[in-house]
Chains A and B, each alone.
Chain A
Amino acid sequence: MATNAYRKVYTRLEAITKATVALRARGVSNDELATVDGRLAQVVRIRGEMVTLQVFSGTEGIPSNATVTFLGEPPTLKVGEQLSGRFFDAYGHPIDGGPEVEGESRQIGGPSVNPYKRRQPSQLIPTGIAGIDLNNTLVSGQKIPFFADPDQPYNKVMADVALRADVDKIILGGMGLSNDDYLFFRHSFEEAGALDKIICFINTTENPPVERLLIPDMALTAAEYFAVDKNEKVLVLLTDMTLYADALSIVSNRMDQIPSKDSMPGSLYSDLAKIYEKAVQLPTGGSITIIAVTTLNDGDITHAIPDNTGYITEGQLYLKADSDSGKVIIDPFRSLSRLKQLVQNKKTREDHSQVMNTSVRLYADAQNAKTKLENGFDLSDSDHRCLAYAKEYATRLLSIDVNISITEMLDTAWELFAKYFTKAETGIKQSLSDKYWKA
């Protein structure tokens, strides 16, 4: 950070709330960083000479005569190849015991990519998980969250996806991670021998919640460095965005802003969009793909956080505990990848979209049969076959512990079709069933 010999020091606070302090100061710039008794803070409001600062680590113990020094610039991250393999806190300081990173200092939360300079995403990201690759194929440059209840193994799925994806860098932004989950990620990355392509920005539950607000911008500034400057394929993992949004509401509440739905700030949509829209496919080949986690409250997707997220992201992946197979599956009904048609049948086998639609439709038939059963009606022969199919489909394809190639997924689906149904019952285009049907 630039040094300034004439930097003025203030020692009198006019107001203190749990997340903010206010003082009289002149010549302060918007978004600028300051220290309040050594704690980092950022300018969030200027009203005449009254300046309000958001103190990232909270204001516990801050006295009204605290020392405030303005640092003259917004939060920055030093970027360079040395970021690889390192673990940082929300301010970009190492937490792995290694040295500070040397490199160019960049302001975080920078400007948007000119939409006209984007390219249409077209590269498939295989994950080995059929619930994703077969039904909701991911494409580089996409942004997509997992919608999951807190008890589901979303962090494990995300680590699996990251380690199997064919990308140059994996950047993890952990917000409110439990220490156990942080160690899990660290361990998985080490185990996989992938540390050289991993960069982590971590805020655990032990750290103050407002610090989380810096994490996505830190992660994405690093991502932009590798994608734009180095033309690399970057995968950014953000977990858990619900905790990020909660931190937003804390700050807006302390600033006396009028809350909108679910006591979230009125700007929630823009705040989330600013992060997710960093996902991009660049013409030079570099790309940023964002996979996030939004935890739900008892599956409620009408809450402001998942609702706004759904309008921003290119689909969503629902995790669901399936009672038939006893596995956690990717719900084929409510999950969606909006970009899947850009790669299906183009980068994958010609039968992909037909197999996907047919297998999901037959799974839906099984759900109807199940309802019939629950309501005490008699089941027909085809109902029984549907139910048997559904169980095997969930176990062998929808379950998150699957790890096979897309061709294997398609072949498995054909095998199931032949095992439980006739060609006519599947209603697949004749030319395809002639070619792929497993007699």
Chain B
Amino acid sequence: MKTTGTVTGIVSNLVTVKVDGPVAENEICFIDLAGVKMMAEVIKVGGSNAQVQVFESTRGLREGDTVEFEGRMLEATLGPGLLSSVYDGLQNDLTVMEDVFLKRGEYTDPLDRKKLWDFTPIAKPGDTVEAADWLGEVKEGWLPHKIMVPFSFKGGYTVKWIKEAGSYNVDTVIAVLTDSQGNDVDVTMTQKWPVKVAIKGYREKPRPNRIMETGVRVFDTLNPIAEGGTGFIPGPFGCGKTVLQHAIAKQGDADVIVMAACGERANEVVEIFTEFPQLIDPHTGRHLMERTTIICNTSNMPVAAREASVYTAMTICEYYRAMGLKCLLLADSTSRWAQALREMSNRMEELPGADAFPVDLSAIISNFYSRAGMVILNNGKTGAVTFIGTVSPAGGNLKEPVTESTKKAARCFYALEQNRADQKRYPAVNPIDSYSKYLEYPEIQQFLDNTIEKGWVDKVLTAKNIIRRGKEASEQINILGDDGVPMSYHVTFWKSELVDFIILQQDGFDPVDSLCPLERQKYMLDLVLDTCSLDFDFPDYEKCRDFFKNLINVLRQMNYSEFHSEQFNAYRQDVQKLLEEYGN
């Protein structure tokens, strides 16, 4: 029998319910407001009172309204058809809602129940299987979507029967499994999973051992993110967080991209589903939208569902990871999620931590980041969830709780800087503060040795060092004046400008420069480092400036030209000429 209750208190979307039976933390309930059933989640229980956060506006709710508990947590519906969907934070399909305005209590099915999928069996009768093992496969776009033993199944099962190849909808029973007690259970193409629980069902989670290519030089060359790695991008508004994230979504080398627009502008989501269907995935030549799922809880949608949105997005990624696919989760912005937690904590009158955030903020964030990772599945294949979150620090100050907590959890740090943005040095990632811990991983170093060239990491560190020394030199020049320092300071400074303009800066709106493959990144870094390794001396600092400005201009033209095209090679010749003219 279901537990029921009545509303006894309301503050904004926090509702207190007096219950007549057992309730669980995070259990879902429906509050009846004059016939409209509004979904809510238990976030605190005390005596016979449960405090629930309502995923809708509580306007008009009364003391005494009835509540029905569901005996389950918030779940995501998993199955073929998730890709190219646009969901809200609770996984309602936004594309099938008819009204212009979102209606309270309108919940739509995440999957198209009528659509037929071409099913091919993988398992055979008599096979022993366990949770997450592959039973069959359908083609979702160009991806092999595995139909798996539901993740909630415990222990071993024997395949009793499996459906022959054919076209079926998601609710068709495609296999019958027998458990160790001899009970038969039906398996369809769809299953449900509570979003706040990580999907396991893999053999092990090793350290990441390869990088995920993004075509963005500040990522791939300077601070690569591992496949199955974690990273975050903090930055004040107007520094290009969204542009950078969209670039990664467009170019990231992943099979599946899930974008969680968490408390951000609706027009940015509109941009994604207006532009993505027209864009082509550079790795497969297919439409980008075919590999993309959008979860959107824009800033004006109910706050409580904001928290749910990132969990729903992560669950979908984990589901595809279990099929042996590479998934990339982008969440913009995790600060909004943290703020949602703060609002609830505040309404529950919990003792606040720093900046009024809940004291367990750090634990919640690191727990979430830990769900990313590369895994080795039971069948030996690998899958990965790479997670990149953005953080919107208040006032652009990185010494605030969300940034600090995230820094502890994420392995890559891409600090966007106001100063660089003001100078239009995009992407405005600060080259000195930012880091990728993966560069220190022996596994990753070896991967880079094998795929790019032996000793690659040393080159990267050399480039970073040039930047650092350039900054020191520029500080001295600023204090002592152009004439007050030896010429070598100017040369050091301009060498760092060379690395800055040619390697760090990248034109995200240029068709050629926006996507820079690894091979090309290596070519340009070699060229820049070779140039930087030369000794220069100039009669005066203006000559020095003019020389490097010219050099930078030609190298930039190379960045704008198709790799190894005639034009590109011509500019390469020009670089040579400039260096020779100088006398080297």
Contact = CB atoms under 8 A, between A and B. Distances in A.
B63 interface: yes
A260 B11 contact: no
Contacts of A27: 62-64
Interface string A400-419: 00000000000000000000
A107 B336 CA distance: 27
A28 B340 CA distance: 27
Interface string A241-260: 00000000000000001111
Contacts of B339: 266, 269-270
A278 B97 contact: no
Contacts of B349: 258
Given A121-B267, A259-B356, A311-B237, A112 B301 contact: yes
A32 B271 CA distance: 37
A190 to B, nearest CB: 34
A123 B261 CA distance: 25
A266 B299 contact: no
B267 A120 contact: yes
A260 B355 contact: yes
B297 to A, nearest CB: 9
Contacts of B422: 333-334
Interface string B312-352: 00000000000000000000000010011011001101001
Interface centre among B62, B237, B267 (most CB of A within 10 A): B267
Contact of B94 (A107, A110, A116): A116
Interface in A87-132: 107, 109-121
A48 interface: yes
A302 B94 contact: no
A436 to B, nearest CB: 22
A267 interface: yes
A282 interface: yes
A7 interface: no
Contact of A111 (B104, B236, B266): B104
Interface in B25-69: 57-64
A113 B100 contact: yes
A281 to B, nearest CB: 8
A260 B9 contact: no
B263 A269 contact: yes
B569 to A, nearest CB: 21
B524 to A, nearest CB: 22
A274 interface: yes
Contacts of A315: 238
A259 B352 CA distance: 10
B102 A114 contact: yes
B8 interface: yes
Contact of A302 (B100, B263, B267, B396): B396
B276 to A, nearest CB: 12
Given A310-B237, A336-B238, A116 B57 contact: no
B222 interface: no
Interface range, A side: 35 or more
Given A47-B16, A333-B422, A30 B10 contact: yes
A339 B61 CA distance: 39
A230 interface: no
Nearest to A51: B63
A304 interface: yes
Contacts of A120: 267, 270-271, 274
B285 interface: no
A250 B64 CA distance: 30
A241 B16 CA distance: 33
B269 interface: yes
A46 B94 contact: no
A260 B397 contact: no
B100 A228 contact: yes
A209 interface: no
B269 A266 contact: no
A311 B299 CA distance: 10
A30 B62 contact: yes
A112 B60 contact: no
A364 to B, nearest CB: 8
B63 A46 contact: yes
A118 B270 contact: yes
B206 interface: no
A29 interface: yes
Contacts of A114: 94, 97, 99-102
A302 B339 CA distance: 17
A72 to B, nearest CB: 10
B392 interface: yes
Contacts of A28: 62-63
A49 B394 contact: no
A119 B103 CA distance: 19
Interface in A275-315: 276-278, 280, 282, 301-304, 307-308, 310-312, 314-315
Contacts of A301: 395
B511 interface: no
B266 A118 contact: yes
A6 interface: no
A44 B273 CA distance: 37
A179 to B, nearest CB: 32
A273 interface: yes
Ranked 4 nearest A-B pairs via Cβ: A302-B395, A273-B299, A277-B300, A310-B237
28 contacts: A26-B63, A27-B63, A29-B59, A30-B10, A46-B10, A47-B8, A47-B11, A73-B60, A111-B102, A116-B97, A120-B267, A142-B267, A258-B356, A260-B342, A260-B355, A260-B356, A261-B355, A261-B394, A267-B346, A270-B299, A273-B299, A273-B300, A302-B396, A303-B395, A310-B236, A311-B392, A336-B238, A377-B481
